[in-house]
Structure 1
């Protein structure tokens, strides 16, 4: 095993041994080659080749809090005049070189030409379905947004976009943004890799975005683990007005549970955060795992019903869908028992 990190030079911390990052106190995410081959032999569930959508055309600026779904983990957050994109991917495939990887089942919910000016990009980790260099290059050429990302990902971005404006840090790092907003990098139970030999050499995470229009949590990719990180976020950051939580890419559970939540666990995260409103992301755009295309929304509805929660408090977010959030309006989320 290599003794040198290829992306970052950083002193050892609770979540970094000097070479690789980790999820302290939570199940390990590493899988063997044997596990990978076993999973590939088991894969059977087909997806539709294409699902039609109705694209949105966003306003240039929004005074309140609004989210528009682009697809997968890409969401346009408009809050108090600030425009933020999460994990932007407009490429047709999630993979290297533009022709390797899974192709889109749904077109982007916003045409790139219709995007308003982007001030900030929140980039959670370096997997190809989240860190898409062609899209980041297009955004830089057009808007030169500030990119906020956990440690190590800046090295990958600068190879393709040398002049990119990047701010990076460990979990717990805070950044001040325009219009009085602040954003904190928060933990996630996940991992990272762009190729062979760099597993867990760049950090992963989620974000708490505090604006004058409300508090937004963006999970990135995460497993549930012990659930402790979500309760800690609630205690540290307060109650999110909007939570963007993954609900897809969870099957088979023996392979995915440590790194991706399923809809039942997504509801537990919402309840731990006591979020006023949640939207389910990371489903239906790229076929990464084995659940049927339309299963995440169905299981989400079942999970909400099992907790006696209204379906409107946690929706499966669909490309082109626009949701306005009023922080004064409460949901039926409740807290975990």
Structure 2
């Protein structure tokens, strides 16, 4: 097929899919119509391995992501709960201190998958998103139901940024550019994600690593890239051209696990991490974007999965995220909180040990679901 024929076929596929799905925007957790080709990401990813075939990454075990036909079945299937335009947090915006020294740890929730972690003299952000939409467009796509729990201008100097994967609700290029040009933080991402970031702004320096890679962040803190069960894309044609991961932060408090996005995968990610690192102080676990279950179960945990994962990790405290800010899937805006409460009761876990985070929540200090 010639380049012209390939471009024409892609345009026709986009038009057919758009007509099939109607005017509703695709979720940010799925590839959007358009986007980058991702070939540069694959070239930067290195040699083939047990989870990379030389062109694309894959989960060695478990379910593969759903395809376009399943996506159409989902979008045409109904049972999509409406969200209100606004879902204000009960907490006021946080104004963090410049830094926290020593072994103490301060956790502040910004929204969706963004946390500010302060300890050991470092300020670390996870999957920072300050944009109004989780989308490649400024005029369409999932829009914030609440403002960030920390205003961007109130952020202290950021020393490190952890990027778990390339979906638009986790990799916000505009925010990364603002952070880079303001603070020059150490940006850590899994293999191949540097191509996407530097394609947006070649000046941004990115440290990439494979699963099990260890990246020093300074002051005795290390970021360990952990295998989780997910996938990544920025468009229709670049699925899994880059890698995805969770992170364990060693030397920060009593250890922190940030899952990024993951399916439960029969508990394998949590058993691996517990075996490698022992009990951790804090687990940051996704609890939203899980309905319809037949579509999402392989790649997104529901609250029951997250509580089971928390128990397998053996962590002391958990915070649930990935809910209540961007509408990505079918469940209602407050459904994750109700399902989390039911799961905690079923598993006989004290509710204060696993809190559904709302923007502006600070720990220790504010501890409400």
- The residue number in structure 1 matching 2:74 is 39
How big is the shift at 1:5? 4.1
Cα deviation per residue 1:109-166 (whole Å; 9 max; x = unaligned)? 0000000110000000000000001100110111011110000100110122212121
Q: Does 1:27 align with 2:63?
A: yes
Secondary structure of the 1:6 match is helix
Give the Cα separation in 2 of the matches to 1:212 and 1:124. 18
Q: Does 1:60 align with 2:98?
A: yes
How big is the shift at 1:98? 2.3
Alignment TM-score, normalising by the size of structure 2: 0.85
> Any conservation in 2 of the 1:5–1:18 contact (CA below 8 Å)?
no
- The count of residues paired between Structure 1 and Structure 2 equals 323
Give the Cα separation in 2 of the matches to 1:269 and 1:226. 9
- The residue number in structure 1 matching 2:172 is 132
- The residue number in structure 2 matching 1:104 is 144
Secondary structure of the 2:230 match is coil
> Any conservation in 1 of the 2:130–2:148 contact (CA below 8 Å)?
yes
Secondary structure of the 2:364 match is strand
How big is the shift at 1:212? 4.7
Give the Cα separation in 1 of the matches to 2:96 and 2:277. 29
Question: Whose radius of gyration is greater, 1 or 2?
Answer: 2
Give the Cα separation in 2 of the matches to 1:208 and 1:302. 28
What value does the CA root-mean-square deviation take over the aligned residues?
A: 1.5
Secondary structure of the 1:254 match is helix
Structure 2: segments with no counterpart, 5+ residues: 7-37
- The residue number in structure 1 matching 2:19 is none
> Any conservation in 1 of the 2:42–2:54 contact (CA below 8 Å)?
no
**1:1-337 alignment, distance < 5 Å:** 5-9=39-43, 10-29=46-65, 31-43=66-78, 44-53=80-89, 54-63=92-101, 64-324=104-364
Secondary structure of the 2:265 match is coil
Structure 1: segments with no counterpart, 5+ residues: 326-337
How big is the shift at 1:222? 0.3
Secondary structure of the 1:98 match is coil
Give the Cα separation in 2 of the matches to 1:159 and 1:86. 21
Secondary structure of the 1:67 match is strand
- List, as ranges, runs of 4+ consecutive aligned residues in structure 1 with deviation greater than 6 Å: none
Give the Cα separation in 1 of the matches to 2:332 and 2:279. 33
Give the Cα separation in 2 of the matches to 1:272 and 1:114. 36
How big is the shift at 1:214? 2.1
> Any conservation in 1 of the 2:253–2:281 contact (CA below 8 Å)?
no
How big is the shift at 1:238? 1.6
How big is the shift at 1:314? 0.3
After the TM superposition, which of the residue ranges 33-42 and 198-207 deviates more from structure 2?
33-42
How big is the shift at 1:38? 1.3
> Any conservation in 1 of the 2:124–2:160 contact (CA below 8 Å)?
yes
Give the Cα separation in 2 of the matches to 1:200 and 1:213. 33
Give the Cα separation in 2 of the matches to 1:145 and 1:238. 29
Alignment TM-score, normalising by the size of structure 1: 0.93
